[in-house]
Chains A and B, each alone.
Chain A
Amino acid sequence: MPMKPDLSIRIGGLVMQNPVMTASGTFGFGPEFARLVDLNRLGAIVVKGISLKPAQGNPTPRLVEVPGGLLNAIGLQNPGFEGFVRDYLPFLRQYQAPVIVNIWGHTIEEYAAIAERFSEVPGVHGLELNISCPNIKHGGIAFGTDKKMARRVIAAVRARTRLPLIPKLSPNVPAIAEFARIAEACGADAVSLINSFPAMAIDIETRRPILANITGGLTGPAIHTIALKMVWEAARAVKIPVIGMGGITSAKEALAFIIAGASAVAVGTANFSEPRCTLAVIKGIEAYLVRHHLASVRALVGTLETGSAS
């Protein structure tokens, strides 16, 4: 009987029972999937982006399926800090899975302020800093594609919270490793990558964009191999943990991220078609570790062999 492998990983002070989390924006604010997925089995629950004040998001249509993926421009609709704490957090506190709140703002001060407020709330175990959303006019990606801005916002948030801090990086940069290094230098506990790619779709009959926002963010299987390369680059550049995401539909893509250097992974778009995808990924990682006689998932992190095969 083989030993059950140890799936646990650590991000800053946060210990996760396994490396599989939900990607922000694809798993709602907590209760939406709870009737189909045992939330206690997740490595962590990462909720949809929260801002200080409620946000209405973008007009519709907000989403369209494209070959190999999904284009969305939801626009970070959310109930705001107070609405989330009042209406959703009590539900999430019933579960043992750590809750990581994705936060965003229009200004550096807003980012810092919401980080500080969440630090005082029981039941929040980490903050993912959204500096990479392509679908809002001010904030989001503007912070994640400019090195000076990224440094300022991460440092400002770090100064106001002791919670594990995870900047979520944009793929829309020439060298993602530099942004990972900036995050590490500013005291981030981990980096997560990648957010969606700015993209668009056109209805050629009406000659109009399909999304009301004109452009959106591309996610799903189409972006997996690009995300994989970026995770590999980021993981080689920093010592803090890297959380890999982009097009995971099974344990296979998750394992590729881990081999490339990710300590944890997040399942995003696949939650929509397979609500229990996260659980299948956990199971698949465990089976792989048994099959490869690895005692822990940590032993697999960053084990990519690039020398010539002998």
Chain B
Amino acid sequence: MLIENTIILSHRLIKGGYRLLTLKSSKIAPMVQPGQFVHLRVPPSADAVLRRPFSVFRAQAGRLAILYKTVGKGTQAMEALRTGDEVNLVGPLGNGYPNVCKNSLPVLVAGGYGMAALYLVAQRTKVKGIVFVGGKCADDILCADDFRRLGWNVRVATEDGSTGQKGLVTRILDAWLNKKPRGRTPEFFACGPNGLLKAICKRVGRNGWDGWISMDRHMGCGLGACLACVQKVRKRDASGKETWAWARVCTEGPVFACRDIVWEDNGMKQTSNTQHRTSNVE
């Protein structure tokens, strides 16, 4: 984990309010593991007292890219950033996705720009797997071609049917699972809104597969100090009885094993300061 002043190499609108920000980062970029995030200092204003967390989309020698959508005041302020501007980053942060298990078939499932957080998983895995991505409309389907270029099979669903199959991403996933030939066991890597992650965990748990999800929580420090972004995870107490404990999404996460998550509905909307890995589909 480092703090680095990076320089913007490019910053462009892709479509539908989604932007790609590419930064010159000699220190942080080479350290990034798939699923890790960076904490970005938004151009200072009295209105933004927190950094904004973003999953790393691409990371290679000296460059790091994030994909974001303008959703609030922080990302709005980011829109004004221009090539050559300085951006302060803390990262790489958190625990990312594990390596794909030998003999398993990697299945990536993304809601909207959750796709971005999964790109490094695909890029750094030898086995070519399959990607399921869903969104509200065609504009929410990002970087599908990046995965295709890696030789991955990409399946798309949109709620309005403007591209791919009409419906939720879980629908095309289930259709595929029903017809899936025997062979490699699927191993899931998911990123998206909570509803989707919960749906993945359900399928993974039912079949005894391995699955990894990237959680999104409103973060404060990103360093594990403030204890704002906590998530309930399963734990055994000293007597071996099953109980729960808080895990910090920024430190023990953001990626958790499906089997570890304790899902609960306390009636509260779980907020996130950037919706950094989730899409606007719920």
Within 8 A of A (CB), among B181-220: 217-218, 220
Q: Could you say which of A68-76, A142-150, A289-297 contacts chain B?
A: A68-76
Please state if A67 and B46 are interface contacts (CB–CB under 8 Å).
Answer: yes
By beta carbon, the residue of chain A nearest B231 is A60
Q: Is the interface of B mostly helix, strand, loop or mixed?
A: loop
CB proximity of A137 to chain B, nearest CB, Å: 17
Task: Among A48, A68, A210, A271, point to the contact of B271 (Cβ < 8 A).
Answer: A210
Please state if A67 and B246 are interface contacts (CB–CB under 8 Å).
Answer: no
Within 8 A of B (CB), among A34-93: 35-36, 48, 56-57, 59-65, 67-70, 72, 74, 77
Question: Inside 8 A of B49's CB, which chain A residues have their CB?
Answer: 65, 68-70, 220-221, 269-270, 272-273
By beta carbon, the residue of chain B nearest A25 is B226
* With A26-B221, A32-B221, A272-B221: A57-B227 Cβ-Cβ less than 8 Å: yes
Task: Among B2, B41, B225, point to the contact of A271 (Cβ < 8 A).
Answer: B225
By beta carbon, the residue of chain A nearest B223 is A32
* With A208-B268, A269-B49: A36-B3 Cβ-Cβ less than 8 Å: yes
Q: Residues 250-279 of chain B: 1 if any A CB is under 8 Å from the residue's CB, otherwise 0?
A: 000000000000000011111101000000
B242 interface residue per 8 A CB criterion: no
CB proximity of A5 to chain B, nearest CB, Å: 27
Please state if B225 and A61 are interface contacts (CB–CB under 8 Å).
Answer: no
Provide the bound-state CA to CA distance between A273 and B39, in Å: 9
Within 8 A of B (CB), among A120-142: none
Provide the bound-state CA to CA distance between A56 and B243, in Å: 13
Provide the bound-state CA to CA distance between A15 and B2, in Å: 31
Please state if B226 and A57 are interface contacts (CB–CB under 8 Å).
Answer: no
Question: Inside 8 A of A269's CB, which chain B residues have their CB?
Answer: 49
Q: Residues 177-220 of chain A: 1 if any B CB is under 8 Å from the residue's CB, otherwise 0?
A: 00000000000000000000000000100101010100000001
Question: Inside 8 A of B269's CB, which chain A residues have their CB?
Answer: 61, 203, 206, 208
Q: Residues 33-73 of chain B: 1 if any A CB is under 8 Å from the residue's CB, otherwise 0?
A: 00000000100001111110000000000000000000000
Q: Residues 220-239 of chain B: 1 if any A CB is under 8 Å from the residue's CB, otherwise 0?
A: 11111111111100000000
A12 interface residue per 8 A CB criterion: no
Please state if B266 and A272 are interface contacts (CB–CB under 8 Å).
Answer: no
CB proximity of B38 to chain A, nearest CB, Å: 13
Please state if A74 and B228 are interface contacts (CB–CB under 8 Å).
Answer: yes
B1 interface residue per 8 A CB criterion: yes
Within 8 A of A (CB), among B1-33: 1-3
Please state if A77 and B230 are interface contacts (CB–CB under 8 Å).
Answer: yes
B156 interface residue per 8 A CB criterion: no
B133 interface residue per 8 A CB criterion: no
Question: Inside 8 A of A206's CB, which chain B residues have their CB?
Answer: 269
A275 interface residue per 8 A CB criterion: yes
B90 interface residue per 8 A CB criterion: yes
Q: Is the interface of A mostly helix, strand, loop or mixed?
A: loop
Say which size band chain A's interface belongs to.
Answer: 35 or more
A95 interface residue per 8 A CB criterion: no
Please state if A60 and B268 are interface contacts (CB–CB under 8 Å).
Answer: yes
A28 interface residue per 8 A CB criterion: yes
Question: Inside 8 A of B90's CB, which chain A residues have their CB?
Answer: 36, 275
A276 interface residue per 8 A CB criterion: yes
Please state if B3 and A273 are interface contacts (CB–CB under 8 Å).
Answer: no
* With A70-B49, A272-B50: A64-B224 Cβ-Cβ less than 8 Å: no
A288 interface residue per 8 A CB criterion: no
Provide the bound-state CA to CA distance between A25 and B3, in Å: 21
Please state if B273 and A65 are interface contacts (CB–CB under 8 Å).
Answer: yes
Question: Inside 8 A of B47's CB, which chain A residues have their CB?
Answer: 65, 67-68
Task: Among A63, A273, A274, point to the contact of B228 (Cβ < 8 A).
Answer: A63
Provide the bound-state CA to CA distance between A193 and B233, in Å: 36
Please state if A272 and B230 are interface contacts (CB–CB under 8 Å).
Answer: no
Q: Residues 214-255 of chain A: 1 if any B CB is under 8 Å from the residue's CB, otherwise 0?
A: 000000110000000000000000000000000000000000
Interface, chain A (partner B; CB < 8 A) = 25-29, 32-33, 35-36, 48, 56-57, 59-65, 67-70, 72, 74, 77, 203, 206, 208, 210, 212, 220-221, 269-276
Interface, chain B (partner A; CB < 8 A) = 1-3, 41, 46-51, 90, 217-218, 220-231, 246, 266-271, 273
Q: Nearest 9 pairs between A and B by C-beta?
A: A28-B225, A63-B228, A32-B225, A272-B221, A212-B268, A32-B224, A62-B228, A32-B223, A220-B49
A-B contact list, 29 entries, CB within 8 Å: A26-B225, A26-B226, A27-B225, A28-B221, A28-B223, A32-B221, A32-B225, A33-B225, A36-B90, A48-B225, A57-B230, A59-B268, A60-B217, A60-B218, A60-B231, A61-B228, A62-B218, A65-B47, A65-B50, A68-B47, A69-B49, A70-B220, A77-B246, A269-B49, A272-B50, A272-B221, A272-B226, A273-B41, A275-B3
Q: A70-B220, A269-B49 are in contact. List 6 more A-B contacts (CB 8 A).
A: A28-B226, A29-B225, A36-B2, A62-B227, A63-B226, A275-B223
